[in-house]
Amino acid sequence: MDNVKEPTASIREQIPRTAEREHSAPIFMTSSFVFDSAEEARALFADEAQGNIYSRFSNPNTDEFVAKMARLEHLDGGIACASGMAAVFTSMAAFLKSGDHVLCARSVFGSTHQILSTIFPRWGIDHTYVDIADEKNWEKSFKPNTRMFFLETPSNPALDIVDLEHIGALCKKHNVLLNVDNCFCTPALQKPAEFGASIVTHSATKFIDGQGRAVGGVILAKEALMHDLKFFARHTGPALSPFNAWIFSKSLETLDLRMERHSANALRVAHALEKNSAIEKVIYPFLPSHPSYALAKKQMRAGGGLVTLVLKGGVERGRKFLNALQILSHTANLGDTRTTATHPASTTHSKLSEAERQAVGILPGMVRLSVGLEDVTDILRDIEQALSQSDR
The secondary structure of 27-58, three-state, reads CCCCCECCCCCHHHHHHHHCCCCCCCCECCCC
Same fold for the pair 6-253 and 255-389: no
User: What whole-number distance in Å separates Cα of residue 248 and Cα of residue 207?
Assistant: 10
Q: Helix, strand, or coil here: 175?
A: coil
Cβ-contact 145, 382 below 8 angstroms: no
| pLDDT of res. 196 | 97
**CA distances from residue 390 to 98, 152, 364, 374 in whole angstroms, order as listed:** 50, 32, 15, 23
Of the candidates 326, 306, 330, the residue with the CA atom closest to the CA atom of residue 318? 330
User: What whole-number distance in Å separates Cα of residue 206 and Cα of residue 224?
Assistant: 28
| pLDDT of res. 328 | 97
Residue 203 CB partners (closer than 8 Å, separation 6+) = 83, 84, 85, 87, 88, 183, 216, 217
User: What whole-number distance in Å separates Cα of residue 318 and Cα of residue 324?
Assistant: 10
Q: Helix, strand, or coil here: 367?
A: strand
- The domain locations on the chain are 6-253, 255-389
**CA distances from residue 262 to 13, 145, 270, 379 in whole angstroms, order as listed:** 24, 41, 12, 12
Cβ-contact 72, 252 below 8 angstroms: yes
| pLDDT of res. 142 | 97
Q: Which amino acid is at 326?
A: Q
The strand pair at 177-181 and 146-152 is best described as parallel
**Bond prior to 16 in cis (omega within 30° of 0):** no
CATH annotation of 255-389: 3.90.1150.10
User: What whole-number distance in Å separates Cα of residue 339 and Cα of residue 257?
Assistant: 16
**Bond prior to 344 in cis (omega within 30° of 0):** no
Q: pLDDT tens per residue, the chain (392 residues)?
A: 778 888 888 988 899 999 989 999 999 999 999 999 999 999 999 999 999 999 999 999 999 999 999 999 999 999 999 999 999 999 999 999 999 999 999 888 889 999 999 999 999 999 999 998 888 889 999 999 999 999 999 998 889 999 999 999 999 999 999 999 999 999 999 999 999 999 999 999 999 999 999 999 999 999 999 999 999 999 999 999 999 999 999 999 999 999 999 999 999 999 999 999 999 999 999 999 999 999 999 999 999 999 999 999 888 888 899 999 999 999 989 999 999 999 887 766 666 666 776 666 677 788 999 999 999 999 999 999 999 998 87
pLDDT single digits (tens) 264-317: 999 999 999 999 999 999 999 999 999 999 999 999 999 999 999 999 988 888
> Any long-range contacts for 50-56 (C-beta under 8 Å, 24+ apart)?
55/28, 55/30, 55/31, 55/239, 55/242, 56/234, 56/237, 56/239
Q: Which residues of 216-244 are buried (b: 16+ CB within 10 A; e: fewer)?
A: bbbbbbbeebeeebbebbbeeebbbbbeb
| pLDDT of res. 314 | 84
297 backbone φψ class: left, alpha, beta (φ>0; ψ -120 to 50): alpha
Q: Which amino acid is at 125?
A: I
| pLDDT of res. 67 | 97
Q: Helix, strand, or coil here: 328?
A: coil
Pick the CATH number of 6-253 from 3.40.1350.10, 3.40.640.10, 3.40.1190.20, 3.90.550.10: 3.40.640.10
| pLDDT of res. 348 | 66
